[in-house]
Amino acid sequence: MAKKILILNGAARKNGNTAKLIQAFSEGARNAGHIVQEFYLDSMDIHSCKGCLHPGRDSKSPCSQKDDMDQIYAAFADCDVVVFASPVYFWTITGPLKTAADRLYASLECMGYGRFVRESVLLMTADGSDYSQAVTWYRTYERNLGWKNRGEVLGKGKTEEACKLGASL
């Protein structure tokens, strides 16, 4: 079955190491018949969550803030798989990815957490080898939302692994 895959790209460098993993993952997924939509967060106007705790009722625009997050809400409402992609910055994910992940709160609150059960994937690169804090963040996020972790690719140049994971969905 063709799946709709939403990629949240938290890297700043458009042609960097994370982008290469995403490219390989997407190629594998598309070749397997899946539909991939990637959001390059660094170029989007996405503000941090204001903590108002007042989501609206429209799943395509549930947040009180009206910004580029609406593009992501529409895709999130309709996707099967969410891919979190990021370089390691100071032993965790980048700010843009954390901001977008926080803002998904409005969707979850609006429609009910049970309506947004998704599969998820983590793609990360780093200069070193300590991904532990980022992986803990990711696993805690998906586990508490009741999502299914389909895999993690951690490391520069692991394009073959990323491609295989994309194809395996």
Ligand X SMILES: Cc1cc2nc3c(=O)[nH]c(=O)nc-3n(C[C@H](O)[C@H](O)[C@H](O)COP(=O)(O)O)c2cc1C
Using DSSP bridges, classify how beta strands 4-9 and 119-125 pair: parallel, antiparallel or unpaired. Answer: unpaired
Sheet holding 148-154, edge to edge: 35-40, 4-9, 81-87, 119-125, 148-154
Minimum distance of ligand X from residue 30's CB (angstroms): 21
Check binding of 45 to ligand X (CB under 6 A).
no
Among 4, 13, 47, 54, binds ligand X (CB under 6 A): 13
Check binding of 14 to ligand X (CB under 6 A).
no
> Which x/- pattern, by CB under 6 A, does the window 71-110 give for ligand X?
----------------xxxxx-------------------
The CA distance from 49 to 54, in Å, is 11
Q: How far is CA 64 from CA 33, 105, 154, in A?
A: 36, 12, 35
Check binding of 118 to ligand X (CB under 6 A).
no
Where is 19: in which H helix or E strand?
helix 17-31
Check binding of 10 to ligand X (CB under 6 A).
no
Which positions from 121 through 160 interact with ligand X, judged by CB under 6 A?
A: 125-128, 156
- Chain positions contacting ligand X, by CB under 6 A: 11-13, 16-19, 87-91, 125-128, 156
